[in-house]
């Protein structure tokens, strides 16, 4: 247990996201489900809001002045190779699961960054690098252990408590603290994938985007991909070949053969000269190299929209808005959805019929309110470009924008979640902790 001023307090509340500070009145460093029960019971008795933090990729603003439950110590991983499942504790990171599953020729439906918390990612849906073939991670959960606001530890399954099971998967951490879950693994030991990078000052980014969108119409569901664009800052922390460069990158993950993968990506290599091309056969344990997400804590603000169809002209405007002419740095990523993601499932993950996800993430200087306002203004303008096709937003990609609930769920899902909230957390202890990755 930590309070402000105690040794270890600052370390306990620190996370991957450094742009926003939190100041809980008390922090419980949970090592077990019993510790979580004690923390929730304490908060309920005191009438304090509860936030939960595993890795800190997203921060639970509801813990301000209240109780923060840190789950990073709950990091057990248990593989059942015969059943093709893994049981993960609330503090487990995906990199741990990838390594443990690989010993059995299996893989989880993890995201692009190995440092992300497996449980929080899954509660938000879990859009991974193999998503078009296998769907959302939430679709593969077998059971969850959750401590609800009354201090009860429950084993929740689709049979035992179907409504709560539905709401936890996609509803985030708004109904309780999940201490562990069991999730299915897939028989994937290797893949064909990587990234192909174009210099956005030598090859027109609009040409890359148009070619990419046309290419996605031809690929099978076994191939999951995205296109990203950003201007790298000219700083000594980066390799010389990246400093100040504007790169437009296509990322690919394909579970078919290397020969088939080479045939599928051939049109991408015809777009124009490349800066680098890492498309190759790789063990699944190297899959994090496809995106090579930064692994150091930093300050950022981001959001997303899901759209029915990709308006390519609007997407080209987005690249112009966020490219070299922009006053701040912005990271744009556009993911093709569809495939198994469109399959209805027994959970609250919304917008299954959307064809695309558009994301903008913007680093900013922590404490610079004017800079943050400028970032928000650019993002509002960026997402406004897609307004005619927008269905909503995805919870896991509301980076620090998770306190704004608009669009996170369709009307029917929102109403159903509200009913669950009234049943399991009538005092609203878990105050819309939408973003706790």
Span 213-240, pLDDT tens digits: 999 999 999 999 999 999 998 888 778 8
Band of the pLDDT at 373, cuts 50, 70, 90? very high
Share of the chain above pLDDT 90, in %: 87
Dist CA 379 CA 371 (whole Å): 12
Torsion of CA 263, 265, 271, 272, to 10 degrees: -90
Res. 98: pLDDT tops 70: yes
Output the pTM of the full model: 0.95
Phi, psi (5° rounding) for residue 303?
-155, 180
Res 240: pLDDT:
84
Res 433: pLDDT:
44
Q: Please report where in the chains the tokens 């669009």 appear, as a residue.
A: 407
Res. 195: pLDDT tops 70: yes
What is each CA distance from 152 to 67, 166, 369, in whole angstroms? 17, 18, 40
Average pLDDT over residues 13-29: 91
Residue 393 CB-half CA count within 13 A: 23
Share of the chain above pLDDT 70, in %: 97
Res 241: pLDDT:
81
Q: Residues 312-365: pLDDT tens digits?
A: 999 999 999 999 999 999 999 999 999 999 998 899 999 999 999 999 999 999
Res. 432: pLDDT tops 70: no
Q: Which residue has the higher pLDDT, 239 or 309?
A: 309
Average pLDDT, the chain: 94
Q: Residues 28-72: pLDDT tens digits?
A: 999 999 999 999 999 999 999 999 999 888 777 667 799 999 999
HEC-encoded secondary structure of 29-81: ECCCHHHHHHHHHHHHHHCCCEEEECCCCCCCHHHCCCEEEECCCCCCEEEEC
Q: Residues 279-303: pLDDT tens digits?
A: 999 999 999 999 999 888 989 999 9
Res 435: pLDDT:
34
Burial of 426 (0-12, 13-18, 19+ CB in 10 A): exposed
Smallest CA-to-CA distance from 173 within 11, 40, 20 is with 40
Q: Residues 109-122: pLDDT tens digits?
A: 999 999 999 999 99
Dist CA 310 CA 204 (whole Å): 19
Average pLDDT over residues 303-308: 97
Average pLDDT over residues 402-411: 86
Q: Residues 133-187: pLDDT tens digits?
A: 999 999 999 999 999 999 999 999 999 999 999 999 999 989 999 999 999 999 9
């Amino acid at each position: 247990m930590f309070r402000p001023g105690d040794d270890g307090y600052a370390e306990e509340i620190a996370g991957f996201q450094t742009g926003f500070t939190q100041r809980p009145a008390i922090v419980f460093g949970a090592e077990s489900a019993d510790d979580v029960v004690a923390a929730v019971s304490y908060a309920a008795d005191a009438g304090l809001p509860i936030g939960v933090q595993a890795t800190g990729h997203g921060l639970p603003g509801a813990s301000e002045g209240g109780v923060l439950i840190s789950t990073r110590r709950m990091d057990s991983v248990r593989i059942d190779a015969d059943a093709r499942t893994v049981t993960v504790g609330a503090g487990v990171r995906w990199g741990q699961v990838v390594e443990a599953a690989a010993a059995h020729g299996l893989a989880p439906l993890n995201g692009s960054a190995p440092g992300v918390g497996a449980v929080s990612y899954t509660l938000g849906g879990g859009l991974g690098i193999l998503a078009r073939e296998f769907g959302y991670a939430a679709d593969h959960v077998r059971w969850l252990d959750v401590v609800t606001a009354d201090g009860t530890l429950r084993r929740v399954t689709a049979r035992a408590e179907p409504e709560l099971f539905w709401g936890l998967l996609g509803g985030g951490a708004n109904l309780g603290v999940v201490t562990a879950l069991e999730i299915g693994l897939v028989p994937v030991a290797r893949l064909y994938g990587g990234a192909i990078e174009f210099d956005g000052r030598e090859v027109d980014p609009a040409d890359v985007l148009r070619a990419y969108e046309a290419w996605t119409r031809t690929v099978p569901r076994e191939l999951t991909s995205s296109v990203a664009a950003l201007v790298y800052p000219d700083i000594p922390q980066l390799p010389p070949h990246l400093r100040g460069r504007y790169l437009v990158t296509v990322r690919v993950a394909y579970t078919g053969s290397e020969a088939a993968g080479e045939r599928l990506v051939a049109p991408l290599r015809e777009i124009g000269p490349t800066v680098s091309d890492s498309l190759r056969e790789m063990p699944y344990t190297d899959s994090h190299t496809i995106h090579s997400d930064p692994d150091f804590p930093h300050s950022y603000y981001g959001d997303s929209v899901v759209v029915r169809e990709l308006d390519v002209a609007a997407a080209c405007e987005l690249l112009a808005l966020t490219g070299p002419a922009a006053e701040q740095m912005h990271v744009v990523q556009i993911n093709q959805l569809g495939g198994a993601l469109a399959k209805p499932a027994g959970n609250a993950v919304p917008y299954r019929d959307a064809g695309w996800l558009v994301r903008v993430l913007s680093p900013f200087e922590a404490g610079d309110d004017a800079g943050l306002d400028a970032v928000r203004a650019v993002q509002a303008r960026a997402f406004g470009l897609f307004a005619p096709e927008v269905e909503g937003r995805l919870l896991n990609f509301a980076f620090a924008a998770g306190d704004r609930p608009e669009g996170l769920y369709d009307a029917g899902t929102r109403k159903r979640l509200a009913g669950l909230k009234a049943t399991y957390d009538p005092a609203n202890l878990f105050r819309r902790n939408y973003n706790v990755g």
